[in-house]
Amino acid sequence: MKWLACLALAGVVSAVSAETVRVCYNYGCLAEAEAHFDEARMTQLAAWLGAAQDAADERARLSLAVGWMLGWAGEQTPIAADRGGNFADQAAFGRMDCIDHSTTTTRLLRLLEARGWLRFHRVAEPAQRVLYLVQVHFSAQIEERAVPPEGGGTLAAPERHVVDSWFRDNGQPAVVMRLEEWLAGNEDQLEAVAIAGRSPD
């Protein structure tokens, strides 16, 4: 049975073609530039995401995949200068605020979704939170695909997670965590990236 799964994955990988995505920068999506992902890199993404065993594994893999894609985009656009948060890169050309990140990361996720490479999640509209009445923050967001419970019964409400690339420097894994924890500002309770540090090569 394993060989059938490998054969199916090989078919997906062989059908991969290049893609171009517009990335936002200089705060508030004031500027945009095109980032091109060639067939070799798209093939890496297809194989990497295709190996996910369940929703949690797919989220861990998405954390790295989004980091890789932003890093690859940084090789072609000014966003290589982006640093985590809004203070370490305030004067840098290519800096990104949460609007730049949430917009760009949503575009990247929708590219992966359109390719059929997200098997356990769908891409939702960006999430917004307000902390202490004045701290407004946005993030890309995904939702687990509903799985019918064994033996019938009603479907549980699908869990939502943010994919927040704003917290870390360009090219680093995105923060992926449950929406409720993110809304509460609990960034210290990040969903573990068990495969952090892995290289796409």
Residue 33 burial (10 A CB sphere; 0-12, 13-18, 19+)? middle
pLDDT of residue 69: 98
DSSP states of the chain: -HHHHHHHHHHHHHT---EEEEEEESSTT-EEEEEEE-HHHHHHHHHHHHT--SHHHHHHHHHHHHHHHHHHHHTTSGGGG--STTTTTTT-TT---HHHHHHHHHHHHHHHHHTT--SSEEEEEEEEEEETTTEEEEEEEEEEPP-PPTTS-PPPPPPEEEEE-TTS-TTSPPEEEEHHHHHTT-GGGPPP-TTTT----
Flag the least confident range among 155-159, 162-166, 174-178. Answer: 155-159
107-128 pLDDT per residue, tens: 999 999 999 999 999 999 999 9
Within its chain, how far is the Cα of 151 from the centroid? 33
Where does the pLDDT of residue 15 fall: very low under 50, low under 70, confident under 90, or very high at 90 and above? low
- pTM recorded for the entire structure: 0.83
pLDDT of residue 152: 65
pLDDT of residue 84: 92
13 pLDDT exceeds 50?
no
198 pLDDT exceeds 80?
no
23-72 pLDDT per residue, tens: 999 999 999 999 999 999 999 999 999 999 999 999 999 999 999 999 99
Where does the pLDDT of residue 1 fall: very low under 50, low under 70, confident under 90, or very high at 90 and above? very low
5 pLDDT exceeds 50?
no
3-state secondary structure labels for all residues of 142-197: EEECCCCCCCCCCCCCCCEEEEECCCCCCCCCCEEEEHHHHHCCCHHHCCCCCCCC
Q: What is the mean pLDDT of the chain?
A: 85
Where does the pLDDT of residue 76 fall: very low under 50, low under 70, confident under 90, or very high at 90 and above? very high
> Phi, psi (5° rounding) for residue 117?
-90, -5
